[in-house]
Structure 1
Amino acid sequence: MSNDGKLTHIGEDGAANMVDVGAKADTKRTAVAEGYVRMAPETLKLIRDGDAKKGDVIGVARLAGIMGAKRTSDLIPLCHPLMLSKVSVDISEAPDLPGLRVEATATLSGKTGVEMEALTAVSVACLTVYDMAKAVDKAMEITGIRLLSKTGGKSGTWRRGGDDT
């Protein structure tokens, strides 16, 4: 939604449209997202020990997440193709699940935000973990995919659970 409470991708006639960002100023923009893959403790151990049949689950998922961020506009119809300056995907153990936590950060200097790129990176990384370990644990769950923060642009800074500025 825009600041006036209207959806930005819906025209007056109700048709979906790509937002025109041509008149916007370039600003540094960053978005951070997270997601989780819940799995059996034995599956987490298999991944941690590097014993998954398909190979290095965490390494492949990290690369897949980065590639996913770069292809966001190919996957989400109204997203602008962006010249990302940085995408990072960090995958760590979340023993309390048990499972893995995926965090992605996307950055650029441009006219539109990178929230969708960060969210896509997390989603693709989580899906890759599932794909690589599904032979031993089809009951894995992908959960909690959400935006944690964004900076830059006219709307400024937003943090989950924090103050908007």
Structure 2
Amino acid sequence: MTVAAPTALLPFGTTVERARRGVACIVCRTPVAAAEPFCAHCGARVVIASRGKRPADVAATRSLQFALLVIASNIVVGALTLGVVVLVADAARLMQAALFLEGIKLLVVATLAATSIRLGVRGIRETADGMLRRRAWAVAGVVVSSIFTLLVVCSFLLTLLLALR
């Protein structure tokens, strides 16, 4: 009795012969030669991702999404800070509350910005080989996150200086 060796998993409907001939288009499932940049049937771009790596456009998209989360979290925590300033009447407690909320804003924005910058740099590196899909999104994610992080750090330092005065 012989046992067949395990084979790599193929997408549903893809036969071994189709896989040997080339790559199947992800849009229309037509076989495409591995060297062709576009599908001859539907015109979709053929992307062959190596195992273990995420496509560059996913990293670039995530970078821009996290940059937008940096902006949103800055707005939310800034509104909370403004609400505390309006509600707290005691001046000594006001500075403590403002410093505490600025510290929270710094932690949240720094975490989101670090993730955005890391994914943006990854997207830029992965598009350096000529695949320029969504490279601008990765650059925008890095720039927006860096600017907002710099603004939040300056805001925290100014609040800290006022609290120590």
Normalising by the smaller structure, the TM-score range is under 0.3
The structure with the greater share of residues assigned to strand is 1
The structure with the greater share of residues assigned to helix is 2
What's the TM-score once normalised by structure 1's chain length?
A: 0.28
